[in-house]
Amino acid sequence: MSKVSCEIIKDMLPLYYDDVCSDDSKRMVEEHLVECHSCKLELDRLKANFKLPKEEIEIIRNDRNVIKNISSSWNRSRVKSFMKGIIISALLFSLIILGYVGLFHWNITNVATDVVEIKNVSELADGKMVYYAEINDGYSLNTLKFDMDKEGNFYITPLRPIIKQEAQSLPLLEKGYEFIDIKEQEVVRGKEIKAIYYGTPRDKILIWEKGMYLPKASEEIENMFHFE
């Protein structure tokens, strides 16, 4: 086997090192390196020169992956927090609206009876009971709730929102005559009404109870309930 010159081998070493030469060339270089110390040193020198860049490339590649991972997870978490932000904003907005509606329009607080005056409880010609109710704390009344318990106690509960509003110049519910059709209520509720209260079971004014005498309503009151 003719010995290949060191010059040729040294020319080929970079290709061998990069592993881009043919199998024949590779074998030839390896056979030469076993015998030639000088060429082996040359290869070691090549390795030493390229070692650092190769490692650096690896590091750079890793870094790039890390950066890619960071940026993609950052993107994902940014989308997440953006969606979170939208949801939280929507919830807050709903809460504010609910809070506003709740505080100003939700009729949940009952009016204490110490600001309520009930008078002129009487009976209309058609048999309905009529009474005058006045809430004199200067705030408007929004609604009346009707409830009856198992014992036949009927409660007319005046309700207003947590934030009460000043009474209007034309009072609606806070000042005036109201009637209740006892017989109709008994039919609707399937139970005899024993007493009618203004307020709640804990804080109430008795309007009427079974056996109580009801005077006939005055002509003036009678006329208020005839709308011909």
Asked if 118 and 170 touch (Cβ cutoff 8 Å), the reply is no
Residues 78-137 interacting with Zn ion (rule: CB under 5 A): none
Q: Does 6 bind Zn ion (CB under 5 A)?
A: yes
Residue 3 or 202: the one with the smaller Cβ distance to Zn ion is 3
Q: Which among 186, 208, 58 has a CA at the least distance from the CA of 122?
A: 208
Rounded to a whole number of angstroms, the minimum distance from the CB of residue 32 to Zn ion is: 6
Residue 3 or 119: the one with the smaller Cβ distance to Zn ion is 3
Rounded to a whole number of angstroms, the minimum distance from the CB of residue 6 to Zn ion is: 3
The encoded tokens of residue 62 equal 């890793």
Residue 39 or 193: the one with the smaller Cβ distance to Zn ion is 39
Q: Does 148 bind Zn ion (CB under 5 A)?
A: no
Residue 5 or 223: the one with the smaller Cβ distance to Zn ion is 5
Size of the site for Zn ion (CB under 5 A): 3
Pair type for strands 153-160 and 195-199: parallel
Rounded to a whole number of angstroms, the minimum distance from the CB of residue 31 to Zn ion is: 11
Rounded to a whole number of angstroms, the minimum distance from the CB of residue 26 to Zn ion is: 15
Give the residue carrying structure tokens 């056996």.
211
**Distance between CA 131 and CA 224 in Å, rounded?**
12
Residue 12 or 133: the one with the smaller Cβ distance to Zn ion is 12
Residues 14-53 interacting with Zn ion (rule: CB under 5 A): 36, 39
Residue 12 or 118: the one with the smaller Cβ distance to Zn ion is 12
Rounded to a whole number of angstroms, the minimum distance from the CB of residue 36 to Zn ion is: 3
Rounded to a whole number of angstroms, the minimum distance from the CB of residue 17 to Zn ion is: 15
In the complex, the residues that contact Zn ion under the rule CB under 5 A are 6, 36, 39
